[in-house]
Amino acid sequence: MRDHGNDHGGNLDQAMAAYGAGDWIDLSTGINRRPWPLPDVPAAAWRNLPTRAAQAGLIAQAVASWGLSAAAEGVALGGAQAAIQLVPRLRPAGKAAVLGPTYNEHAACLLAEGWQVRNCTHPDDLRGADLAVIVNPNNPDGRSFRPETLLALAESIGLLVVDESFGDVTPELSLLPRLGQRNLLVLRSFGKFYGLAGLRLGFAFGAGAEIAALTRMSGPWPVSGPAIEIGGRALADSAWASAMRAQLATDAAWADALALMAGWQVAGGSTLFRLYDTANAALAQDRLAKHQIWSRIFPWSETLLRLGLPGPEPEWDRLQTALSGC
């Protein structure tokens, strides 16, 4: 069931077209299936356009929750994907480099704006680029870099974009508390860790000029009133975040144990998703799909399969049953 034209997770339409509709568990993404509990949203958040004060309040909460450097500024956007699509327009098109393999939208969006893009496998190969992208921790293999390594690397790059979409589970790796250089931009996703991807909320943080440009390009209401309301409350819930990091670490270890019993090998990942080396990724995906569990395979590998983590106990039971046949 390999589809070379759709290199994304979250493509549940493809699963249903091939295997039929039903009660699918979508583990093709790294979205937490133990979401932050939704509160009642005030009616005004639905009725009224978001005020500048409300948007500023959301940024202030993100600054407080993620320990942002006082030298950094931020903007809320419609998911990290919105930031990825705008980043290529921050500078005149030139020579870009992307550390991979990684989320393919970075290179695709740069190419669409006229950039020359090099795909690199070693961070030293990014040096000299007008714009470079590192996902930290990386999707899909979980490869990660210490903040001091990235700060040193940034000195040899025009603009270094660090995508921390999966960074909530590894706060010690975040550049946000040390963000002060003018040529650094950090992207964050809300939906992945908090399990509310449908809210479409993300952030970009960096120097004033880049943030001002992103703010202009994103328009006066880049995120919805409900996203501001829910995002602000969730980011303030530090107790939930701490407990969830511990829960996801336990879940990742259990997923690895099930995979090893199925004969797979751990090839990387984070505590939001795991990467496994299978004998045949397409066959492994097919066997999981027959239990209505959707996973992610890659056009550049015949053996690697990425698997998100189940949430409720019945999802784990189904995964265990499916893997016993792999």
Q: Is the pLDDT of residue 188 over 80?
A: yes
pLDDT at 326: 60
Q: What is the pLDDT of residues 196-248, one digit of tens each?
A: 999 999 999 999 999 999 999 999 999 999 999 999 999 999 999 999 999 99
**Range of weakest confidence among 16-20, 33-37, 69-73, 147-151:** 69-73
> Which position has the token pair 């070693």?
122
Report whether 119 contacts 135 (CB < 8 A). Answer: no
Residue 9 confidence (pLDDT): 81
N-term to C-term CA, the chain: 16
For the stretch 9-56, pLDDT in tens is 888 999 999 999 999 999 999 999 999 999 999 999 999 999 999 999
303, 296 contact by CB (below 8 A): no
With CA atoms as reference, report the closest residue to 15 among 318, 285, 202: 285
User: What is the CA 155 to chain-centroid distance, rounded?
Assistant: 25
| pLDDT confidence tier of residue 134, bands split at 50, 70 and 90 | very high
Pick the closest to residue 82 from 216, 183, 201, 198 (CA basis): 201
Tokens of 324: 């016993």
**pLDDT for 310:** 98
Average pLDDT over residues 145-173: 97
Quick: pLDDT tens for 240-288. 999 999 999 999 999 999 999 999 999 999 999 999 999 999 999 999 9
What's the pLDDT score for residue 7?
Answer: 66
Largest CA distance in the chain: 54
Worst-scoring range by mean pLDDT, 1-5, 73-77, 116-120, 233-237? Answer: 1-5
**pLDDT at residue 10 in the model:** 82
pLDDT at residue 5 tops 60: no
The Cα 297–Cα 282 span in angstroms is 7
* Buried-exposed string 285-301: b where 16+ CB fall within 10 A, e elsewhere: bbbbbebbbbbbbbeee
Proportion of the chain above pLDDT 70, given as a percent: 97
Which residues contact residue 86 at a Cβ distance below 8 angstroms, ignoring those fewer than 6 apart? 77, 214, 217, 218
Cβ atoms 1, 290 nearer than 8 A: no
Asked whether the predicted pLDDT for residue 6 surpasses 80, the reply is: no
Q: What is the pTM of this model?
A: 0.95
